């Protein structure tokens, strides 16, 4: 899941790295923080989740998840792993990238994540 619809080609003449650096330092101003939190919270509505943040937190509250994301973005460090236990699917979000990686989703979850991504103004696509 990404903020861009496709991977930026090498040597295309665009300003990807400048834009990326700006967005990484201005999550709140551009709404990306809310979009990424929204994706995670919406997915938690459908599947039980455990969050790895120092230790595993079973069935975290929305407030806990939001605080973890805020801590990562404010400190410019960290990764969070969210395991959807009923599906054996891992969602990974790191402060230093503008995407969410989702590992091992079945077709049902892919369809759901595509809709969730669209609802948050993001793009659902496979890694290239």
How far apart, in whole angstroms, are the C-alpha atoms of residue 16 and residue 13?
Answer: 9
Whether this model's pTM surpasses 0.85:
yes
The long-range contacts involving 103-109, CB below 8 angstroms and separated by at least 24 positions, are: 109/47, 109/84
pLDDT, tens only, 90-99? 999 988 888 8
- Each domain of the chain, given as residue ranges in start order, spans 16-119
What pLDDT digit, counting tens, does each position of 106-128 carry?
Answer: 999 999 999 999 999 999 987 76
């Amino acid at each position: 899941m990404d903020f861009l619809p496709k991977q930026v080609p090498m040597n295309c003449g665009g300003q990807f790295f400048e834009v990326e650096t700006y967005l990484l330092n201005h999550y709140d101003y551009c709404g990306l923080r809310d979009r990424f939190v929204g994706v995670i919270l919406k997915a938690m509505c459908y599947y039980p989740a455990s969050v790895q943040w120092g230790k595993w937190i079973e069935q975290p509250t929305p407030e806990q998840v939001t605080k973890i994301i805020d801590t990562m973005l404010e400190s410019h460090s960290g990764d969070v792993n969210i395991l959807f236990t009923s599906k054996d699917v891992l969602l990974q979000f790191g402060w230093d990238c503008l995407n969410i990686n989702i590992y091992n989703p079945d077709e049902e979850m892919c369809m759901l994540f595509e809709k969730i991504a669209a609802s948050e103004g993001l793009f659902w696509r496979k890694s290239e």
